[in-house]
Chain A
Amino acid sequence: MKLLVQQACRDVFGHWALAGAVLWLLLAARLGAEAELGTGQLGDYLALVSWLGVFLLYRSADLVYRRRQQGWPMEDRLRDRRGWRLPLAEWLGPSLWWLALLLVALIPPWAPGFQPEPEAMSSHRFAAVHSRFSTEEVPAEGFPQVQLPQVQEWELDAGQPLPPGGLALLPFHWPTPPDQEGATLGLFQDQDGRQEAVAPGRLLSWPMGEKASASGRLQLQWRPHGVGEGTTAPQLQSPYARFRVPRLGRDSLPWLLLGQWLFFLPAFAFAQLLSRHLQVRAGFAFLLALALTSLAAWRPGPEVWLPDSPVAWVAQILLKLKAALPRIDGLLATGPDFHLVWARFDPLQLLAWLASGLLALVLSVRPWRQAP
């Protein structure tokens, strides 16, 4: 098995390809560090590193294709009764190379010249889902009913889980501010139970609690309090509502790269399965595998397509296919908002993704394989 894995590694990546990969990593570090050449973000570096994974995806499909031309399946069939050694070795080849390249990719961001992310936080739009008024009626001892003043509730949705340490920035308009300067008009409370008295005239800077960050939804309630009792509720200027989240630094690079490694492991198995079963050219198997993995990592936006248009029809099919795949977009955290993408990571979905890769490997073993 050791010999087979060694040869698969040699067949996946030659010396020239290795030199090219290292040069690419250096270029990626340069582009990731400099705002003049790239956008000066760690997410850019991660995106450029992930291209090496795509290259290995092609090489893994190509490995199976080339070996079919070289007569390996026949020799395997003659010698290995169960036929699992060759597919496993061929899958381990690109997987081990990918691990080695990612370990090398850990180094450049620690170079003295690499200083991306000048800002520690990034700001994003916080969409208001709804706001509503209500009056609370509370039974009180000795009195039939006490009617409390009106309560205002807002719900804001980031559309995804947020990294911890986030901050909601909410501008409120107060139609009837009190005469005294600095007086509080009411109490804000969120779903995590945090309360704060707020004076008008200032931007509400609200630290996101655990529940709010995990769900990406902030539920905020306002009750009149102090001098504000009897006054009207504030109005949220929703178009200007924002949330700020901390960017990930170089310290989190091992986890981000581990995510990329895990993302591509099943992808290699898919590419090889397609190349082996469909007996197609390497490029075609690669494109199919890339489409499949891209679909799993795709996060559809809120676009609305015209009904009955061909685009809408294709989009519906893609959405249905997407729904059948594990949601692993959080694994491939790249680009300007990579810290937000990383927050979408779900361990259960990762397990489902790895299980699908294992299934592809099992399907590559003899009983399901075509005769050479």
Chain B
Amino acid sequence: MDNAPLLHLRGIEARRRRRSLFAPLDLRLLPGERCLLEGPNGLGKTTLAQIVCGLRRPARGSLRRPEHLGYVPQEPRFPEHLKVQDYLSQLAALCAQPSRECLRQAQQAIALFQLQDATRHRIRTLSRGWKQRLNLARAWLGDPPLVVLDEPQTALDREGMNRLTEILDQGRQACLVLAPPGTGCETLVQTRLSLRPATA
């Protein structure tokens, strides 16, 4: 087995208003490995997720991550006027795929998260739970080697959580889940870590 980590964080720190959010973090995530980082509200889990995804720079430390990864934000934003399939095709097109391949990837993600009934619906008409499924589907678009899930249980019913667990069990993706303790996300992963608050 290849022991080169897919995600490697070394002494990562994040600051908000000159205050460190959490203690320096070291993390190695191997291909196919699934890890839960737990921490209470306000500790900087979302900030850390954004750092891992390259959406924000860390205050200190370095990281190595795959070029293509999926991200499930805690508070997703969508173009509400678009239809589900059109939106997913558009996202696939951002990776410079031919139109036919974009459509194929969109249909694959739709099937994966059982969004078939909502394919022709505009996003604004979807319930919060269905939007969360769409949020997950767009992260799985293009079959990335790593997915970062920020509180994925939000608005998902039991069936949805079961489906997510199934997908993670069947898939080859490495997965980093960030959630507060006691949210049921521990069923999604193999290892659990705690995010420690920064010492004053």
Interface residues of A (CB under 8 A from B): 1-4, 7, 67, 69-72, 74-81, 85-86, 371-372
Contact = CB atoms under 8 A, between A and B. Distances in A.
A372 B96 contact: no
B94 A76 contact: yes
Contact of B95 (A71, A72, A80): A80
- Most B-side CB within 10 Å, residue of A67, A69, A70, A85: A70
Interface in B57-102: 57, 67-71, 73, 76-80, 82, 86, 89-91, 93-96, 99, 102
B40 interface: no
Contacts of A71: 73, 76-79
A70 B71 contact: no
A75 B138 contact: yes
A371 B55 contact: yes
Given A72-B79, A75-B138, A4 B93 contact: yes
B77 A86 contact: no
Contacts of B21: none
A79 B77 contact: no
Nearest to B142: A79
Q: Give the contact-size bracket for chain B.
A: 20 to 34
- Most B-side CB within 10 Å, residue of A2, A69, A79: A79
B53 interface: yes
B84 to A, nearest CB: 14
Contact of A371 (B56, B70, B89, B93): B56
B94 A70 contact: no
Contacts of A4: 90, 93-94
B54 interface: yes
14 contacts: A2-B99, A3-B89, A3-B90, A4-B94, A69-B77, A70-B78, A71-B76, A71-B77, A77-B55, A78-B54, A79-B68, A79-B91, A80-B96, A85-B93
Nearest to B95: A79
- Most A-side CB within 10 Å, residue of B67, B79, B93: B93
Given A71-B76, A372-B55, 9 more contacts: A1-B93, A3-B90, A74-B55, A76-B94, A78-B69, A79-B91, A79-B94, A85-B93, A85-B96
Contacts of B93: 1-4, 85
A81 B67 contact: yes
B91 A75 contact: yes
A2 B67 CA distance: 24
Nearest to B75: A71
Give the 4 A-B residue pairs with the shortest CB-CB distance, closest first. Answer: A71-B77, A79-B94, A70-B79, A3-B93
B90 A85 contact: no
Nearest to B148: A78
A349 B197 CA distance: 59
Contacts of A74: 55, 71, 73, 77
A81 B56 CA distance: 15
- Most A-side CB within 10 Å, residue of B57, B91, B99: B91
Given A74-B55, A75-B94, A77-B55, A7 B86 contact: yes
A305 B197 CA distance: 65
Contacts of A78: 53-55, 69-71
Contacts of A2: 93, 99
B28 to A, nearest CB: 22
